[in-house]
Structure 1
């Protein structure tokens, strides 16, 4: 209990400072996942970057790792050939030993929002659609004349 309280205090102390820092999308995802995990039994550890209806069967095409952001972008295809991109922490991709040709499934989470990413029937990550994750990228606002 004391450890959880200390962790919560540490995050609440550092979060205001980190919110003003420039974080990459992957770093923001990892930070958000850490904050969510403090109060949840399931860690949100991935983003669904492409629109897709659930449930979905996916076949791995490629894994692109971003060492700086410590993320992996998974490029997959549905059986009908539609490309679907997912982003997970690099650690998730490494631990699940994800490689081209693997068969993955995305299923609606039994409770709450998001989806479960599974490999061989085992949950490897809880996923959210990028828009539901509350993450955004800095973009220039259009100017009006």
Structure 2
């Protein structure tokens, strides 16, 4: 198994993004997501790395847009997990899980989607209520620096002693 490099996690593009456009120009990002095929659902390493990448994309969006909430979506096969990245204080980022959905695997399972309607409405309501632009002119930024890999490694090696 090929290990992901640190640069792979901080660069590149997400598998999908939710953006608001004005004409042909993107105005703001409201969410990011990563997807894995159904045969990868037991590969915990890559699933965790995808969740970590989603967190980085969402955090970067909070930094550049001064938005305090971004939707994060992780798709693993036929399961979809929804989170909202919140920044309640300058040095705290929290991913709050707001729901899970199971996608029908065939037309035969499609009627069961009706039973998932309350969950879908809860997720849509949370997105509509929480993932709104707060980029008001003159609003203070609440960004905070991230520990560098070197600082983190030094801190971990200090604890081991």
Higher relative contact order (CA 8 A, sep 6+): 1
Higher helix share: 2
User: TM-score, normalising length from structure 1?
Assistant: 0.28
Give the greater-gyration-radius structure (CA): 2
User: TM-score, normalising length from structure 2?
Assistant: 0.26
